[in-house]
Amino acid sequence: MTRRILITGASVAANTAAWWLGRHGFDVTVVERAPAFRDGGQNVDVRGVGREVLRRMGLERAALANGTGELGTVWVDGQGRVAVRAITEELGRDGPTAEMEILRGDLARLLYEQARERAAYRFGDSVRRIDEDGGLAEVAFASGRSERYDAVIVAEGVGSSTRDLVFPGENAPRWMNLTIAYFTIPRTSTDDRMWRWYNATGGRSVSLRPDRHGTTRAMLTLWGAPGGEQDWDRDRQQVFLRQRFGDAGWEAPRVLAAMEDSADFYLDVLRQVRMKRWSKGSIVLTGDAAWCATPLAGIGTTLAVTGAYVLAEEMARAERLPDAFAAYARAMRPMVGQAHGIPKLVPRLMHPRSPAGIRLLHAALRLANAPLIRGPATRLFGRPSAEPDLSRYATG
């Protein structure tokens, strides 16, 4: 009898799991709270074992072809002069900019377009309650319908409501003392194919990154203890940013002027998701809902793609789903644990408070990008990880 699987959230992890489970013959439904598929989001990258998963899906070339075109990263001073450069091609490896740089929405759509041929998608609905009944999950939806599934995969974001419904109080977040606002602004003639990163005093930074849609992706980043800013409404968040970045210099006035009209404005206070367990009966977590490592780890999307693939493969090969969930956890815990291990000192070092601190940062980055130092420097961006052994899973 075909197993019925519910996946919550149409995220990168969700679409990857739906593709592989559908390929293995599972009856898969993906439920998403949004009324339609969401294309939004900022730059993400896929590295190492994550690229192998996309290769096995036949999507690696498409992901590269849909990349942002970002060539590397430069740190600039208040006049826009380059203080440090890290060009991916010159490095001979992935650095702050990876070879596979793509917008989150573009990658999610690539996966979604393929997955919806193997799975049913239901938008505009969400999980209201899940009860265990004889090894099955009885799911009540906000729409009023109720259905039974052999398993529920929660593949939502860092603030997953379904995770908190099923695992109340079990997430012990690790706050990283970094607040980031992301949004898209009009492109100007000064924008190029580099990620331009400007540090201002007071633990602030302004970043501008290219995309392939004729616009520019902006980030305003602030180091400091969190004050619940992620829960404020949009207007209050933007007032806060204007107050904090009004005198930052460089392109900050342009970015702040375009912020109000941006359709995809999003502010988040970075925190890791720390769960002692990822499964409970017939329910299992994956992606950010299970382990959000924050963008500081440099492998968030790689983890999402890889974890979803490993989960699907273990579910396909196990007679009992709890055994599959346990094998998935054993395979992914080392990689997640290493991603979680980034010191909280890193965001502070990358966001100095004084002019002298900024000069010291630039000097350290120049040293890190020197040929003899490049290997150890990978610990700052895209650190080597304890990747699962994908040779265990058939590729045909």
Q: For 268-289, what is each residue's pLDDT tens digit?
A: 999 999 999 999 999 999 999 9
374 pLDDT above the threshold of 60: no
Give the span between the Cα atoms of 227 and 231, in whole angstroms: 9
Residue 8 counted as domain residue: yes
Q: In this predicted structure, what is the pLDDT of residue 292?
A: 97
234 by DSSP, 3-state: which? helix
With beta carbons less than 8 A apart as the criterion, state whether 12 and 305 touch: yes
Residue-averaged pLDDT of the chain: 93
Confidence band, pLDDT 50/70/90 cuts, at residue 328: very high
> What was the pLDDT predicted at 253?
98
Check residue 380 and give its pLDDT.
Answer: 46
User: Is the pLDDT confidence value at 114 over 60?
Assistant: yes
For tokens 């204007």, name the residue.
242
The answer on pLDDT for 41 being more than 90 is: no
pLDDT of residue 396: 55
pLDDT surpassing 80 at residue 379 = no
Here the CATH number for the domain that contains residue 321 is 3.50.50.60
Q: What are the pLDDT digits (tens) for 217-257?
A: 999 999 999 999 999 999 999 999 999 999 999 999 999 99
Query: In the predicted model, what is the mean pLDDT of residues 313-341?
Result: 97
The predicted structure's pLDDT at residue 90: 74
C-beta of residue 80 within 8 angstroms of C-beta of residue 250: yes
Predicted local confidence at residue 381, as pLDDT: 47
Concatenated DSSP letters of 291-354: H---GGGS-HHHHHHHHHHHHHHHHHH-SSHHHHHHHHHHHHHHHHHHHHT--THHHHHTS-SS
Is residue 108 a part of any domain in this protein? yes
pLDDT for residue 7 is more than 70: yes
The answer as to whether 230 is a domain residue is: no
Of 96 and 208, the structure prediction assigns the larger pLDDT to: 208
* Structural domain contains residue 96: no
Q: Quickly state the pLDDT bin for 98 (edges 50, 70, 90).
A: confident
Residue 395 lies in a domain: no
291 pLDDT band (50/70/90 cuts)?
very high
The reported pLDDT for the residue numbered 40 is 78
Q: Summarize the confidence of residues 99-110 as an average pLDDT.
A: 94
pLDDT digits (tens, 9 = 90+) for 193-209: 999 999 999 999 999 99
How many CB atoms are closer than 10 A to CB 261?
Answer: 10
Q: Answer whether residue 253 is part of any domain.
A: no
* Alpha-carbon distances of 254 from 83, 103, 111, 165, 259, rounded to whole Å: 21, 22, 34, 41, 9
CA dist 87 and 193 (Å) reads: 11
Question: Which domain covers residue 305, as residue numbers?
Answer: 4-69+102-172+272-342
The three-state secondary structure class of 113 is helix
pLDDT on residue 31: 98
302, burial (CB in 10 Å: exposed 0-12, middle 13-18, buried 19+): buried
Q: Is it the case that residue 389 has pLDDT exceeding 80?
A: yes
Q: For residue 332, what pLDDT is reported?
A: 98
Residue 389: Cβ within 10 Å count: 9
**209 has which bridge partners?**
217
Distances (CA, A) of 169 to 26, 60, 151, 165, 173: 31, 38, 22, 9, 10
Per-residue pLDDT at 384 exceeds 80? no
30 within 8 A of 318, measured Cβ to Cβ: no
- Asked, for residue 183, whether it belongs to a domain, the answer is no
For residue 371, name the pLDDT band (cuts at 50, 70, 90).
Answer: low
Give yes or no for a contact between 269 and 226, defined as CB atoms under 8 angstroms apart. Answer: yes
Number of domains within the chain: 1
- Determine whether 376 is exposed, middle or buried from the number of CB atoms within 10 Å of its CB (0-12, 13-18, 19+): exposed
In a domain, 221, yes or no: no
45-95 confidence digits (pLDDT tens): 999 999 999 999 999 999 999 999 999 999 999 999 999 998 887 776 677
Please write the tens of the pLDDT for every residue from 350-360: 999 999 999 99
DSSP tag of 30 = E
Long-range contacts of 70-73 (CB under 8 A, 24+ apart): 70/43, 70/97, 70/101, 70/193, 70/194, 70/195, 70/209, 70/210, 71/97, 71/193, 71/194, 72/96, 72/97, 72/194, 72/195, 73/97, 73/194, 73/195, 73/197
What is the Cα gyration radius of the chain? 21
Tokens of 148: 């039974």
Q: What residues form DSSP beta bridges with 222?
A: 179, 204
DSSP string of 61-93? HHHHHTS----EEEEE-TTS-EEEEEEHHHHTS
